[in-house]
Amino acid sequence: MTQEIIEQMMRVAEADLLEINKYTPKDMVKDAAKKALGRATSNRDPIFWPAGLLMLGLSEAALSPSDSASKLISEPVRENAITILRSYLDRWIKQGEEVSYVDDSLTGVALIKLFEKTDEKRYQHAAAKIAAFLSQCQKNPEESIIYNPSKGNDLIYADGAGQSAMFLSLYAAASHKRTALSLAAKQLVNFHQNGFDERSGLPYHAFSLSEGKKLGIIGWGRAVGWLMLGYSEILSNIQKQSKESENPISDSLLKQTSDKLMSDFYSLMKTILTYQRPDGGFSWLLPAIDGEADTSATAMIAYSMANWLRSGAFRTHAKELSTEIEKAVVSARNFLLEHTENGSVKQSLSGCEDIAVHRQTYGHYPWGQGSALAFLSILEF
């Protein structure tokens, strides 16, 4: 990877973020057609997950890149990315900081990173508002956050479990709130218990506790990616919390939770490594190795592995597995760079319209761009 490539990727991500909520006459026609067909229409929420992934990429590149990536990003390019992040989030804050969906939680990661960089309280307060929404929103009896309760069901999605766990664990570390860490852990523990396929070791897209059902396809790449984002972040932050704790009982419970999450995460990684394609990528559906590759799934999975590698815990707990992961990460990097043109990441699967509705359309999308930039920004080698 060169300076030109990563800086081009940052500029494309910035352009994507600035364009993400522009609603053109063409978009209106498309939405009218989708509505007539009973399909999902555009979501105009400014902090919805596609924007969240773009901001994750930009915040990692501008605020917390690896040493090797930091050397490639010039100060003016970094400062411009920070300015765009601040401007975008300040606009949302001035508009009232509305939080409407569990998918909004991913934006909280960028808010926390901005607060840590600038020490400006409005970013801390905005992150707290997202945390309060997640704390108060509707949950099932096991305290899993229901993805869209307005539909009258209790479906728990991999998307929501992973996104909320990622944000809440980072928020817990930044604000020293163990209740947030506990809620984050429950999302992943419960999903592994209720939403995984026992035979393959891969997740379904969603589950219903009340109906005892697992829904969607097994091993959808981005579902795996969402959960892995949560696992890698929470394990990194549990380690930070345990070092700071002075309560033996709390420490014991924290260790039990950590051991459970780590066991589940390592099992999942061992499983997904068997599905990595010869070209280094992951398919839109992991077992479909000869099917279409998906840069967004590849980047989300690879980012999660790289995020856990940079915590240093891999080498302590699973030295042999860490070596395999390092090789997988390098292969994923090469795959993503092969599918990047003038900073634009191609070959990403389009948005999921409903459970098991994955239209086979591939191209440049915000989620592929943001997750690829996040991954390449933290890569240590």
Give tens-digit pLDDT for 241-260. Answer: 666 655 544 566 677 888 89
3-state secondary structure 158-192: HHHHHHHHHHHHHHHHHHCCHHHHHHHHHHHHHHH
Instruction: Take residue 130 and report the two structure tokens written for it.
Output: 């997202």
Question: Does the pLDDT of residue 356 top 90, yes or no?
Answer: yes
Residues 110-153: tens digit of each pLDDT: 999 999 999 999 999 999 999 999 999 999 999 999 999 999 99
- % pLDDT > 70, the chain: 89
CA distance 228 to 304: 6
Residue recorded with tokens 């990441």: 345
Burial class of 19 by CB neighbour count within 10 A (0 to 12, 13 to 18, 19+): exposed
Q: Which residues contact 145 (CB under 8 A, 6 or more apart)?
A: 102, 134, 137, 138, 139, 156, 160, 161, 164, 187
pLDDT at 250: 58
> Which residues share a beta bridge with 206?
157, 215
Nearest to 167 by CA among 149, 187, 147, 148: 187
Query: SS3 for 237?
Result: helix
Residue recorded with tokens 């394990």: 235
pLDDT at 40: 57
Question: Does the pLDDT of residue 33 top 90, yes or no?
Answer: no
Nearest to 49 by CA among 372, 371, 373, 374: 371
pLDDT at 354: 93
pLDDT at 249: 43
- Report whether CATH 3.40.50.261 matches the domain 3-378: no
Question: What's the rounded mean pLDDT across residues 33-41?
Answer: 53
Question: Does the pLDDT of residue 94 top 60, yes or no?
Answer: yes
Q: Which residues contact 274 (CB under 8 A, 6 or more apart)?
A: none
Q: What is the DSSP string of 309-350?
A: HHHSHHHHH-HHHHHHHHHHHHHHHHHHHHTEETTEE--EE-
Question: What's the rounded mean pLDDT across residues 197-223?
Answer: 97
Query: SS3 for 25?
Result: helix
Residues 280-292: tens digit of each pLDDT: 999 999 999 999 9
Per-chain mean pLDDT for the chain: 92
Residues 258-281: tens digit of each pLDDT: 889 999 999 999 999 999 999 999
Burial class of 178 by CB neighbour count within 10 A (0 to 12, 13 to 18, 19+): middle
CA distance 231 to 296: 18
Inter-residue contact 234 to 184 (CB < 8 Å): yes
CA distance 222 to 246: 38
**Mean pLDDT lowest among 21-35, 51-65, 91-105, 221-235:** 21-35
pLDDT at 4: 97
Nearest to 373 by CA among 275, 282, 300, 286: 300
pLDDT at 318: 76
**Mean pLDDT lowest among 245-254, 261-270, 303-312, 316-325:** 245-254
Sign of CA dihedral 180, 13, 49, 372: negative
Question: What's the rounded mean pLDDT across residues 347-352?
Answer: 97
Question: What's the rounded mean pLDDT across residues 225-232?
Answer: 98
CA distance 171 to 184: 10
> Which residues share a beta bridge with 269?
none
